[in-house]
Amino acid sequence: MSATRTIVRRSLLGLGVIVAVPVLFTGLNVAILLATDDRIPVSHWKSAESRSRFEATYAETMRLLPEPSLTRDVMTDFGTVRAYRFDRPDADEAYRAQDPLVLLPGHSAPVPMWLGNIPHYLPDRPVIAIDLLGQPGLSVPTRPVTTEAEQAAWLDQTLAGLGVERAHLVGVSFGGWTAVNYALHDPARVATLSLLEPAFVFADPKPGFMLAAMLTAFPLLPAAYTDWFMAYTAGGAPIDPDLPEAKLIGAGIDDYQVVEPTPRRFTDAELLRIEAPMLVVFGGRSPLHDSAAALANARRLFPEAEARIKPEGSHAVHGEYADELDARILAFARRHG
């Protein structure tokens, strides 16, 4: 009987430790976050040094891209938005007059994330690439963006400031949500929507993904966690920390404080208001959502859409299948003006 009690006590003690350690760890991280919260109402860098490091890596990665024909910081009601226009070297007036592709990157990923895609697009048509306001990059928010209408407003003001009357929007992950949100609020400029692994559009995110993403904000986690998280979103593929674009995204995750509401999944009724032709691609191994369910919803709501799944693709499907998907996006844009 005494031995049984000892075993029970030890089991309970072990269980208590198992429960207490993560609770205490979470509590410490939350306490540090609260203690260091400077109440800045807009997204911002955590320090001047981290911003300088990021900007150096950003410049290094931009040098790997074709030379932009235009670099602008466009004033909006919510801050300045960094935008680039890319044209092929022998561009004539007919080429420049085409409706451009407008590239909207994912969460924590600025313009250089398109390193493997922009060269594919340029022979066919102009490209405009934007650092999302409120995300790591060279855009500078000055006023909180708190509603979906405001998210659409800064993008509309940016496109207007660039003289874009009509565009083919290409969005990855949160950039896909941004494109859809814009089409719901300001559809006049939207020629087509190409959505690659769009978040919060056709399926809810998995709780495990949301938890993993939330933990990137914990200051006590080792730096290796960011590398793990980036590999996790890419289906477990190892991340080369020396790749400039990987360094850039990692620095954005670690050193930039995003102050924005979590996106809301659109309702079916809202999505059915969209009239723009749509191309949608999901990664079958994406950790973000149930890709099969997302594909079924996309096809149910938009039976005319070009919706497909890449069974071996991850959330980074835009890079894993860049040759194929970029060709599809260009052909799709040609068919629709």
Q: How confident is the model at residue 15 (pLDDT cuts 50, 70, 90)?
A: very low
pLDDT at 280 over 70: yes
Q: How confident is the model at residue 224 (pLDDT cuts 50, 70, 90)?
A: confident
CATH 3.40.50.1820 matches 45-335: yes
Q: Crossing angle, helix 48-62 and helix 244-255, to 10 degrees?
A: 160
Which range (59-63, 213-217, 288-292, 294-298) has the least confidence? 213-217
- Residues 6 or more apart whose CB falls under 8 angstroms from that of 185 comprise 148, 149, 152, 153, 156
pLDDT at 30 over 60: no
Range 84-110 average pLDDT:
97
- Residues 6 or more apart whose CB falls under 8 angstroms from that of 305 comprise 277, 278, 279, 280, 298, 299
pLDDT in tens, 132-153: 999 999 999 999 999 999 999 9
Spatial contact of 263 and 151, defined as CB atoms under 8 Å apart: no
Spatial contact of 200 and 179, defined as CB atoms under 8 Å apart: no
The Cα-based distances of 80 to 132, 206, 238 in angstroms read 10, 33, 35
Place of tokens 């659409």: 152
Range 37-65 average pLDDT:
90
> 3-state class of 315 per DSSP?
coil
CA 149 to chain CA centroid, Å, is 19
pLDDT at 337: 82
pLDDT at 242: 77
Range 117-143 average pLDDT:
98
What is the percentage of the chain residues whose pLDDT exceeds 90?
79
pLDDT at 291: 98
pLDDT in tens, 187-200: 999 999 999 999 99
Range 276-296 average pLDDT:
98
Q: How confident is the model at residue 235 (pLDDT cuts 50, 70, 90)?
A: confident
CA 292 to chain CA centroid, Å, is 21
Rounded distance, CA 102 to CA 197, Å?
A: 17
pLDDT at 253: 92
pLDDT at 33: 40
Range 7-26 average pLDDT:
43
pLDDT at 223: 80
pLDDT at 218: 84
pLDDT at 34: 43
Range 290-319 average pLDDT:
97
Q: How confident is the model at residue 28 (pLDDT cuts 50, 70, 90)?
A: very low
Q: How confident is the model at residue 306 (pLDDT cuts 50, 70, 90)?
A: very high
pLDDT at 2 over 60: no
